[in-house]
């Protein structure tokens, strides 16, 4: 297969280069010509057993709740939970304020713990995930097909597609730098098989 730039025949397929089936020029990284990565089936993915980290709101509820309870304990220990000053209404208000501090603290702690326990990893609808996976799978199949047809010039170096290998009406591609190879494969797959499922 002649290189579109130098016209030489010192070429190999991307697979041959990737699998080191041919002698490579010094300094070549075959990983540059790796096949497109296969998508992972979401049905085979396992969710981590641990809960996701708590969010800022849950953390704030727990901290403020703990502070209020600690404040209440401190007041209680210091004998500030009630007062002898003022009339009965004032004293009742003081005691109520003291009690509200405790209740609010406990409420925030309960809310924070409940918020933490209810946290789940965000998981999509299994049907949607499967649909997306089928789409990714189809894209992957097209790219893998294109990858199988990629040729590499070992002298230039670069990758190219010969005339008609992807589709009968496709002319030969120009030589493209190896750094652009994955993008080239993706683009050619879209162009050659656009509309195909």
Whose Cβ is closer to Zn ion: residue 10's or residue 130's?
A: 10
Q: Which of 1, 2, 6, 34 binds Zn ion (CB under 5 A)?
A: 6
Site for Zn ion contains 69 (CB under 5 A)? no
DSSP string, 83-101: -SSS-HHHHHHHHHHHHHH
Residue 137, number of CB atoms within 10 A of its CB:
12
Residues forming a β-bridge with 13: 151
Stretch 153-172: interaction string toward Zn ion, x if CB under 5 A: x-xx----------------
For residues 34 and 134, what is the distance between their CA atoms, to the nearest angstrom?
22
Give the shortest CB-126-to-Zn ion separation in angstroms: 49
H or E segment and range at residue 186: helix 181-193
Contact 10, 155 (CB under 8 A): yes
| Interface size with Zn ion, residues (CB under 5 A) | 6
Structure tokens at 64: 């403020």
**Chain CA centroid to CA 165, Å:** 35
Site for Zn ion contains 150 (CB under 5 A)? no
Q: Which stretch binds Zn ion (CB under 5 A): 86-94, 107-115, 146-154, 163-171?
A: 146-154
Site for Zn ion contains 185 (CB under 5 A)? no
Contact 8, 2 (CB under 8 A): yes
- Nearest residue to Zn ion, by Cβ distance, number only: 3
Site for Zn ion contains 152 (CB under 5 A)? no
Give the shortest CB-178-to-Zn ion separation in angstroms: 12
Residues near Zn ion (CB under 5 A): 3, 5-6, 153, 155-156
């Amino acid at each position: 297969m002649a290189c579109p730039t130098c016209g030489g025949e010192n070429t190999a397929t991307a697979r041959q280069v990737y699998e080191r089936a041919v002698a490579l020029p010094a300094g070549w990284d075959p990983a540059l010509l790796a096949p497109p990565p296969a998508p992972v089936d979401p049905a085979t993915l396992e969710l981590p057993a641990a809960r996701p980290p708590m969010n800022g709101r849950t953390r704030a509820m727990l901290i403020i709740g703990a502070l209020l309870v600690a404040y209440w304990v401190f007041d209680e220990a210091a004998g500030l939970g009630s007062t002898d000053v003022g009339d009965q209404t004032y004293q009742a208000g003081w005691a109520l304020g003291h009690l509200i501090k405790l209740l609010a603290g406990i409420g925030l702690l309960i809310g924070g713990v409940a918020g933490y326990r209810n946290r789940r990893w965000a998981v999509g609808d299994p049907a949607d995930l499967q649909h997306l996976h089928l789409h990714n799978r189809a894209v992957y199949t097209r790219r893998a097909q294109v990858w199988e047809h990629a040729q590499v010039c070992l002298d230039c170096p670069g990758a190219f597609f010969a005339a008609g290998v992807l589709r009968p009406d496709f002319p030969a591609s120009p030589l493209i730098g190896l750094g652009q190879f994955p993008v080239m494969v993706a683009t050619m797959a879209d162009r050659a098989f656009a509309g195909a499922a």
